[in-house]
Structure 1
């Protein structure tokens, strides 16, 4: 790819990893990010904590099956620490007492979800089939009401926000059925965080890119040409245009929907991007 120019929109982990790989293969990379920081949904807070403590405000967990990100962490010289050795636990306040629902709660959830999981498996776990469509139109909160779930089970469902980044009233039952059909009870694998904060990974990737990374620079329009693309990028100094051979769009749908594409995206794709929602992070 030597001599090939590539514009990457978005400096989350996807965009930064793409920039790293393309640069290593000889491409001339420019990566633009609308915010004044890198990392996207990876964000670590160090204030007002003391003694080098911190909290993860976004992407939190790294599990052992995520081999690519584990390899990337090692390659940039960072280290991980094990967390949640006993799996996911939901802790709720009940007056002066605390209710704790650990792995037993997850097992009960899996048992009660068996009819939906079985139907989804029999449909070959297709997301475009009738079973998936029925599951997708019901929230986890509605399903809990429908089966008259007891309070401990509801506590476990609420604790899922740490796994799915969505509360039961925002989470589709399809996502839950797919998780249990494919991987079983969440939290069965070893899980990690990066020592010192998960944002150290995007920071390390960004540092290696140097001037190739441009913050507070938002992609506004993309026009396809016979020999590549022309991109309009809004910076603090106004709007500028640039020509590139390729575009890698590593943006969330909530940002992508505001970009003008010429020619326009197919209707189905545009409608999906417009309707897609994300859980809170």
Structure 2
């Protein structure tokens, strides 16, 4: 199997691993997959209803409009973006934080195309200059660039010297096949076989110790649930795409991209509309809503998250293969707790504020005022996996109380400087019911094609229908794919 030692430069790799927040998408040297965009006007314009104004729905509507179709977008929330969401309220001091997708990558060809078209400003997602805190196995360690560290895990001598980033380089980056850079070929050898192994199994096959696996689980965003992570998804989405180039964020908030798209299509988007039923007959498609409204179209594109999709009635019913795919494709639960403090008090200890822990706070991220880094700050507890769902079900006051107590172990003084809190449990959000899709071993080959497949005149998009799971680019490209399928079907019907 051909290796991929030069896929990611050390500099870019360090940039990415230094912050490590979960989110955010594959590298095509010449741009998007050939033929994915619709550059010509349709000869058979259709009336298309798009359900959901997340990135997938917005991309579908964007491309359909360009092709000359009539589009109506129905969104249950009062805003666009779905799980791309920047929180500005209730924070003070000019602070804001990302509660959804954390970062883009320069490898996100479709996202970058739109960002440049809209003139949005990109900010590098940089490595913290001050030391990062690790709280693992009861030990608290400050780690700065180049520091020698004794990691509190049963590692080989080489693994101890390598540390978390070096372990990833040795056991993952240096061993992945170069084919991961082309997501269109995910169902072909040699990478399709990777779907049958979990991330843990893949690491073991490369010679990683059990201690190394445990260290990565607590320090790497893509390893939150390593035993339940498809090796294929990890390789293509996390390494072939997101870490194929430098990560970045948008100045002012990542939600500026969906908001700009929605602003340019504002006459076609209806907010506060929750779809309950989709029916197809000879006349076309009828969409019923919880508010008692009806919308008719020639085709429908459904882009809502997996667990929300289960709550929509379809007539005729979805086939068994699609039902099984929707039921069985896992999602990753995420709970994010934000503690606003009066100032970045941790700087007195000579640390950046960022931390990786095996405590209930999970990973710790920091947000400061872009105009004045000393005017207030936000410490975020980022928890992913089974414990996130448990945390998310607690009353907010109890969640905040627990997170503040545990955060004191990472940053003493949290309680003293605390001002207010905000909690986002994605598993409890009625319009999401969980975080991004997160295929377990075997799930990609078992379910992805069925998740993508149309149901009569109903088409499907969303990051869960893309091999680029959990990425903004995957969501965008899935919307483009669905729009192309609708347009091609209308052209075919016209010829017939």
TM-score (norm 2): 0.46
Match of 1:157 among 194, 208, 217: 217
Gaps of 5+ in 2: 1-41, 147-161, 181-187, 335-434, 436-496
Partner secondary structure for residue 7 of structure 1: strand
Deviation at 1:63, TM superposition (A): 1.1
The one-character-per-residue Cα deviations of 1:198-244 (angstroms, maximum 9, x if unpaired) are 01111111122223211121111111122321111222xxx222221
Deviation at 1:266, TM superposition (A): 1.8
Partner secondary structure for residue 243 of structure 2: coil
In 1: Cα distance, 2:174 partner to 2:113 partner: 38
Cα separation, partners in 2 of 1:165 and 1:7, compared to 1, 3 Å = farther
- Matched residue, 1:275: 328
In 2: Cα distance, 1:23 partner to 1:169 partner: 42
- Matched residue, 2:229: 171
Q: Is the 8 A contact 2:133 2:140 kept in 1?
A: no
In 2: Cα distance, 1:90 partner to 1:157 partner: 17
Cα separation, partners in 2 of 1:25 and 1:90, compared to 1, 3 Å = farther
TM-score (norm 1): 0.77
In 2: Cα distance, 1:190 partner to 1:169 partner: 27
Gaps of 5+ in 1: none
Cα separation, partners in 2 of 1:159 and 1:175, compared to 1, 3 Å = farther
Q: Is the 8 A contact 1:91 1:101 kept in 2?
A: no
Is 1:54–2:96 an aligned residue pair? yes
Larger mean Cα displacement after TM superposition, 266-275 or 165-174: 165-174
The one-character-per-residue Cα deviations of 1:105-140 (angstroms, maximum 9, x if unpaired) are 33423433599857x99x81454x5x633x1xx464
**How large is the Cα RMSD of the aligned pairs?**
3.5
- Matched residue, 1:259: 312
In 2: Cα distance, 1:253 partner to 1:29 partner: 23
In 2: Cα distance, 1:113 partner to 1:101 partner: 22
Is 1:84–2:126 an aligned residue pair? yes
Cα separation, partners in 2 of 1:82 and 1:117, compared to 1, 3 Å = closer
Match of 2:240 among 166, 178, 183: 183
Matches within 5 A, 1:76-115: 76-84=118-126, 91-94=133-136, 95-99=139-143, 105-113=164-172
Paired residues in the alignment total: 263
Q: Is the 8 A contact 2:217 2:223 kept in 1?
A: no
In 2: Cα distance, 1:177 partner to 1:204 partner: 31
Deviation at 1:50, TM superposition (A): 4.6
